[in-house]
Amino acid sequence: MLTFPRIHAAPLLALTVLGCVGALQAQQPAGVDGAVLKKAGTPNDSLPGSWLTYGKSQSEQRYSPLKQIDTSNVKRLGLAWSYVVGPGGYSQEGTPLVWNNTIYGITTWSLVYAVDGRTGKEIWRWDPEVNQATTKGITANRGLALYQGMIIAPSLDGRLFALNALTGKPIWESRVSYTQEHHYVTMAPRIAGDKVIIGVSGGDTGENRGYFDAYDAATGHRLWRFYTVPGDPSLPYENEAMRVAAKTWGGDFYKKGGGGAVWDGFAYDPDANLIYVGTGNAEPWTQKFRGAQSVDNLYTCSILAVDANTGHLKWYFQTVPNDNWDFDSVQQLMLLDLTIEGRRRKVLTQAAKNGFFYVLDRASGQFISGAPFVKVNWAKGLNDSGRPMVNPEAYYDTEPVAVNPTGGGAHNWAPMSFNPNTGLVYVPASYSSYTYQADQEYKQNSTGDIRGGSGVPRQIKAPAVGPDAPDGVRGGLQAWDPVKHTLVWRADGGGGIGGGTVTTAGNLVFQVIGDGHLRAFSADKGEKLYEVQTGRTGMGPPITYEIDGKQYVAFMGGIGRAAQGRGAADGPPPLLFVFTLDGKAVLPTAAAPAAGIAAPAPPAR
């Protein structure tokens, strides 16, 4: 862990007067500590116009109380300005933050920038200079954290660093993982109390063991690590949770890593001081290569509740025991307070990759409900404990089998949102099936599967459960009632990979689609009120913020160029788009993608 000279606020203000960092920082900005973050996105929010953490609130609801833009005037939206964010590397996945009238963002190559939220004027940029040759096609970064005047950012190659939010100068840097071990960092770090929580990706890129860490936010010193799967059984177990998990594996699984990557889903309950984390699929994909068959493989495809102070496991819920379909449970975790059967419940919800929408008691992990929000045929339903009743027809070997939902997931990383006024969750969903087929033999650094299969797939005979999509529609936006577990309305277009949603007190849901469209719907009825093509593809999630009484909608988009050394030409540069009422800026002309990067890459894991 490296520590750089800390730059204090008072000298910075003097430099600001001299124009070194611009007039924007001429006053001491309001600090952001654990107390401020606890209130963010709640009715007691002290900075309601800001966007201080990845999900707007620590409960990850992505709801904004702003309502200057509403159903009556959203059709007047126009581009206010755009900003070239920096080198691309496939689809943008980062959620910008807004604080002190400044937008902070991060690109797929982990370049961090700060711009004036009113004009788009650049304040600073910091490039950690990721060695692109070592990332082996993994190119994604989903966001930043903000704490005590610092922007805390991950680099794709396994570093975690803190920058002075006013100047972009480094304060500390820590090492989370190494690309030599096929680990990468793609998730947005989160603040839990005075700690930074970050997990590692790489579940489908090699033989590795998943984990997530807690770091002291002030110093970058690592406080604890939680492994999501057990290691070599000849070595001491790190904790009791690993001793329990080891009983659900067998053979030489540890030589192949086990999987369980932590690359997205996270929430924090400051009252319970619990961190909630979603874990990835078991590796290799096919159970016959994992050393033992018909065992649960804890804690893959699970939701974990961990004490923020100690890193000790409090409870777990496994959505897919003995996963064979890449149905990891790393999708967005959202904390809600819902009235269920006349009782107010503090719950955790997830629209999972496997096609089920789950509601759990977030204090105990008790299963409350689960229902398919898309067509599902790999399971016939869930039992009373939430365990899936797997359809035997869904198990595959060397003969191809077509399964619903798709291997990319019914819902992947594209964020959903919750509007307390409608009681609905807005889920970007995918409807396609996927054909699985196992290799004859295990190959090192292989999933053990031929993605897409070959020949004519064997269809599953058992009837599917869950709502069918219209013929030919591959994805859409779903308004889901988490109490009645029913679909209230659906809008075709988009899917669970790319873009995402934000909802507001103006009775709006904004959706960004991977193909470049920004859309707005009425939150209660699903009426499409606005749509525009931005001229880019490979889109990131939207946010909304307010400065000087003016509301804005912002998001990143653009594929840019492919990985270094891959021979692809440059595409149009990725941009930060900012819209407002009566915006007059000209949208960029849509450009044909460069050779070699014709479509957004699959989500980095």
Would you state the pLDDT for residue 138?
Answer: 79
pLDDT digits (tens, 9 = 90+) for 329-380: 999 999 999 999 999 999 999 999 999 999 999 999 999 999 999 999 999 9
CB 333 within 8 A of CB 348: yes
As beta bridge partners, residue 372 has 356
> What sign for the dihedral angle of Cα 7, 11, 14, 18?
negative
Reported confidence tier of residue 206, pLDDT bands at 50, 70, 90: low
Q: Which residue has the higher pLDDT, 588 or 213?
A: 213
What is the share, in percent, of the chain residues with pLDDT greater than 70?
88
Task: Tell me if 510 sits within 8 A of 457, measured CB to CB.
Answer: no
Quick one: which of 579, 591, 604, 603 has its CA closest to 80? Answer: 579
**Distance (Å, rounded) from C-alpha 186 to C-alpha 281?**
16
In this prediction, residue 462 has a pLDDT band, given cuts at 50, 70 and 90, of confident
What DSSP assignment string belongs to 475-514? Answer: EEEEEEETTTTEEEEEEES--SSS-EEEEETTTEEEEE-T
**Confidence tier at 3 by pLDDT (50, 70, 90):** low
Q: How many angstroms separate the most distant Cα atoms in the chain?
A: 73
Residues in the chain: 605
| pLDDT tens, position by position, 83-115 | 999 877 779 999 999 999 999 999 999 999 999
Q: Which of 45, 116, 269, 326 is catalytic?
A: 326
The one-character DSSP state at 143 is B
| Known catalytic membership, residue 326 | yes
* pLDDT tens-digit series, residues 235-289: 999 999 999 999 999 988 888 888 999 999 999 999 999 999 999 999 888 888 8
Is residue 146 a contact partner of residue 32, using CB atoms and an 8 Å limit?
Answer: yes
Q: What residue ranges do the domains of the chain occupy?
A: 44-136+499-605
pLDDT digits (tens, 9 = 90+) for 427-438: 999 999 999 999
Helix (H, G, I), strand (E, B) or coil at 394: helix
Whether the pLDDT of residue 228 is over 90: the answer is yes
Residue 569: predicted pLDDT:
44
- pLDDT tens digits, 528-566: 999 999 999 999 999 999 999 999 999 999 987 654 443
pTM for the full predicted model: 0.93
**Which pairs count as long-range contacts for 133-138, CB under 8 Å and 24+ apart, including other chains?**
133/564, 133/565, 134/179, 134/180, 135/179, 135/184, 135/563, 136/179, 136/182, 136/205, 137/563, 137/601, 138/184, 138/186, 138/201, 138/202, 138/205, 138/604, 138/605
